[in-house]
Amino acid sequence: MVKTYEITLHTHGFCDIHDITDTVREKLRESGLKEGMCLVFIPGATAAVTTTEYEPGNVQDYKEFMERLIPSDKPYHHNATWHDGNGFSHLRASLQKASLCVPFKDARLILGTWQNIVVIDFDNRARTRKVVIQFQGE
C-alpha cells in the first residue's frame, strides 16, 4: 500500500535547516501503515534532505562547512545563464541530494535517538517549499 503526503515549508534560504521529524511521524500515524519505508523527497533543484542531530551548534557547523565547501560569494557559470545568483545553491543541493529513505516497523520510524530528518534550503532567497512524504508498506 502507498500513501503520499505533501507538506509546505516556508524557508529563508542560505542553508536554512528545518527539522520535519515530528511531521513525518504524524503522517505515518495518519497512514495507518505498520512496516515499510518512508521516502522523503524535495521537489526542486536547490534544496536537499538528510538526517542530523538538530541542535544549534551542529546546525551552525553545517552552515559554516557548506560555506567553506561551496562558497556563496564565488562566481559560478550557472549565474551567467539565469543571473539569479544561486549557482552555489545548485551545487550544494546536487551533492546533498533530494531523497532520503527511512524504514518503519511496528508503526514507528526507526531512527537514532538524536537523529532528525531535515530539509535544507540552499537557495538564495525565501521560498515556499513542497516536501513529499511517501510511505510504502503494509
Kindly list the residues in this chain that would bind a second copy in the complex (CB under 8 A).
1-2, 4, 35-37, 39, 41-45, 50-53, 55-58, 60-62, 64-65, 69-70, 76-82, 87, 90-91, 93-103, 105, 110-112, 114-116, 132, 134, 136-138
Of 26 and 39, the one with the shorter C-beta distance to a second copy is 39
Of 26 and 44, the one with the shorter C-beta distance to a second copy is 44
| Cell numbers standing for residue 120 | 535544507
Measured between alpha carbons, how far is 66 from 42 in angstroms, rounded to an integer? 19
Of 14 and 41, the one with the shorter C-beta distance to a second copy is 41
Of 95 and 126, the one with the shorter C-beta distance to a second copy is 95
Backbone angles phi, psi at 85, to 5 degrees: 70, 15
Nearest to 109 by CA among 40, 9, 59, 56: 40
Which string of DSSP letters, residue by residue, matches 55-87?
Answer: -HHHHHHHHHHHHHHS-TTS--HHHHHH-SS-H
We find the least distance from the C-beta atom of residue 116 to a second copy, in angstroms, to be 8
We find the least distance from the C-beta atom of residue 39 to a second copy, in angstroms, to be 5
We find the least distance from the C-beta atom of residue 54 to a second copy, in angstroms, to be 9
We find the least distance from the C-beta atom of residue 12 to a second copy, in angstroms, to be 18
Nearest to 51 by CA among 90, 16, 20: 20
